[in-house]
Amino acid sequence: MVWTESARGPCLDDRGRERRPGKARGKHARTSPRTAGDQLLLDTARHSAARALALTLLGLASTAVALALPATLGHTLDLLLTRRPGASGWVLLCTALICVPAALDALDGLLAGTTAARSTARLRHRLLRHVLAAGPRATNRFGPGDLVTRLVGNAADAGTAPGTLAAAASSVVAPLGGIVALGLIDPWLAVAFLAGAPLLALLLRALARASSDCVAQYQRLQGDIAGRLMEAVGGARTIAAAGTAGRERDRILEPLPALSGQGHRMWRVQGRAAAQAVTVVPLLQIAVLAVAGLRLNQGLLSVGDLLAASRYAVLATGVGMLVGHLNAAVRARTAAGRLADVLSVPLPPYGPDVRRLPPGDGTLELRGVGAVRGGRHILRDLDLVVPGGTSLAVVGRSGTGKSVLAALAGRLADPDSGVVTLDGVPLPQLGHDELRRAVGYAFERPALLGGTIGGTVAFGVADPGPDAVAAAARAARADGFVRRLPRGYATPCAEAPLSGGEAQRLGLARAFAHAGRVLILDDATSSLDTVTEREVAAALVRDVAARTRIVVAHRASTAARADAVAWLEGGRVRAVGTHESLWRCAAYRAVFGG
């Protein structure tokens, strides 16, 4: 058996030449969240193009009816005032034009609701797939609460984009149509309105800018509060034991005043815009009516024309509808930017699905591996070979990179420099399924996924069957307590009162059932008693299919049972050897408090 070491031996200082860490890989060019968010909104709109088109047509039909109604009312009024025949038919037409928009609005509301629901579901599925595919890359960058806020609230806001764009199109047609109609009645009416139109444009532009910043800050603070709440829920026992519920409540709600401030700021912006609109809009309408009155007095307009002009002036100044759609568009755009920020997290590349590992004994090799976390070099130019069919314990003081090494060894993360190979194949060249079949993991705090106890053990394995599940549980010394549960392996996880050690044994059972060539235990036996740990260690050799085992160890007894120990210090492997040989070094004994 040959072990490759990156140091001269146990108890020797690392006096080798300082090598510069390799340049970080995987830096992708990133667009701004706003630009990426706009692209996401366009993609969402394209996906719902047929429904958005239907919504647009419904909106345009409703707008067309609204534009036809004033002219029809004006003509009907002229017929009634002059007592000309045919007025009754025009009255019926007016009645129909009043009733038709109600039916169109009902259809529009139904279609808008279903379109928003479908778009939201698509965005949530896309975001969820990306987060799960990115794995720790996403969860290390965004807190759980923040991710939930983006997945639930922000996706719902962005999902309204197709309906908002369709409604905005028809809401723009109404004012334009009103202006055109004023011009058809009398060109001077359109001139009177257009003289003050730039004020409306400036009002809308200022509202869009101010609202965008308010909404962005508001959504960010919502994510902050959600993240703090998730942390508190996860640490509920610690909070109760420490008696700090009040202090924790204050910590969670600390951003609330800022959130309230942004909310009030949004209301002030909208209130200011409404106040300005209340000033500008009536002035424009009065100007149109004043000109219409003059033209009526000159005999150039009829009373019906005056009525139609008054209603067209209202349509032309439809700022209220535009403001509402503008606010919805701002919320959707800001939310899409937050979703795009998550989608910008790069996914780990994998090789083609057809790429298979060659026959081998599970030899794992790390060459020149470096890892940077938070701007700090955790691992530096690390070289290590784990021969197939052996067990390696990884030890070191806290912060020396043991868990980072474990993550790199099975490609839960990629190194910033160097390469990791399994039986001579670099891990990134393997297909996703092939890699996950070859490497199994167990963690200190396993997540009990799968619904039931049996589903937890089988999680990630393609139909292992009840016998394989039970065999893995027996190897992890979990079968005994599982069978004592009310429904055995069919017991829902939520109904199973498990200790920390029992949860760890289920995590080990899942790893045993899943492991192919390599099994990596990241402090996965820390909650086991000494007897159970010894039994599990024996089962690792006797009952587990994985040929190569890497164990992150904090106990001297765990390191002693491994074939060899890799001692990490200063981001490098200080020494590799048996536990017995390393134990002669006082610095090594100090790692275990000895």
Please choose, from the candidates 103, 64, 290, the residue with its C-alpha nearest in 3D space to the C-alpha of residue 192.
290
The residue-averaged pLDDT of 253-275 equals 78
CA distance 590 to 594: 5
CA distance 433 to 350: 10
pLDDT score at 351: 86
At 277, the pLDDT band (50, 70, 90 cuts) reads: low
Same domain for 329 and 440, yes or no, is no
Same domain for 388 and 306, yes or no, is no
Q: How many other CB atoms sit within 10 Å of the CB of residue 345? A: 19
Same domain for 292 and 410, yes or no, is no
**Ramachandran region of residue 490, left (φ > 0), alpha (ψ -120 to 50) or beta?**
alpha
H or E, element range at 371: strand 364-373
What is the reported pTM?
A: 0.72
Same domain for 333 and 397, yes or no, is no
The residue-averaged pLDDT of 292-296 equals 86
Q: What is the DSSP letter of 154?
A: I
Flag the least confident range among 3-17, 225-239, 518-532.
3-17
**pLDDT digit string, tens, across residues 432-445:** 888 888 898 888 88
Q: Which residue is associated with the tokens 């800022």? A: 258
Residue 26 falls inside a structural domain: no
Angle in degrees, CA 565, 569, 571, rounded to 5: 110
At 8, the pLDDT band (50, 70, 90 cuts) reads: very low
Q: Which residue is associated with the tokens 């038919």? A: 89
Same domain for 282 and 385, yes or no, is no
**pLDDT digit string, tens, across residues 501-542:** 888 889 888 888 877 889 999 888 877 888 888 888 877 777
Same domain for 56 and 149, yes or no, is yes
Residue 369 falls inside a structural domain: yes
At 495, the pLDDT band (50, 70, 90 cuts) reads: confident
Q: Which of 309, 343, 377 is the endpoint of a domain?
A: 343
Residue 324 falls inside a structural domain: yes
Same domain for 483 and 557, yes or no, is yes
Same domain for 445 and 573, yes or no, is yes
Same domain for 405 and 305, yes or no, is no
Give the domain extent around 380. 364-591
Same domain for 390 and 268, yes or no, is no
**pLDDT digit string, tens, across residues 161-187:** 888 888 877 777 888 888 888 888 889
pLDDT score at 118: 92
Is 551 within 8 Å of 403 (Cβ atoms)? no
Same domain for 98 and 224, yes or no, is yes
H or E, element range at 118: helix 87-134
Residue 23 falls inside a structural domain: no
Q: Which residue is associated with the tokens 């990241």? A: 522
What residues contact 167, with CB distance under 8 A and at least 6 apart? 55, 59, 112, 325, 328
Residue 15 falls inside a structural domain: no
Using CA atoms, how far residue 327 sits from 35, 41, 111, 324, 349, in Å, is 19, 15, 20, 5, 39
Residue 21 falls inside a structural domain: no
Percentage of residues of the chain with pLDDT beyond 70: 87
Q: Which CATH number fits the domain that encloses residue 227?
A: 1.20.1560.10
Q: Which of 343, 375, 404 is the endpoint of a domain?
A: 343
What residues contact 188, with CB distance under 8 A and at least 6 apart? 291, 295
Residue 275 falls inside a structural domain: yes
Same domain for 464 and 339, yes or no, is no
Provide the 3-class DSSP secondary structure of residue 84.
coil
H or E, element range at 50: helix 49-82
Using CA atoms, how far residue 457 sits from 40, 83, 133, 226, 352, in Å, is 38, 87, 21, 31, 28
Q: Which of 343, 378, 404 is the endpoint of a domain?
A: 343
Please choose, from the candidates 424, 420, 488, the residue with its C-alpha nearest in 3D space to the C-alpha of residue 456.
488
**pLDDT digit string, tens, across residues 396-451:** 998 889 999 999 999 988 999 999 999 999 999 998 888 888 898 888 888 888 88
Q: How many other CB atoms sit within 10 Å of the CB of residue 180? A: 15
Q: How many domains does the chain have?
A: 2
CA distance 407 to 412: 5
Q: Which CATH number fits the domain that encloses residue 521?
A: 3.40.50.300
Residue 581 falls inside a structural domain: yes
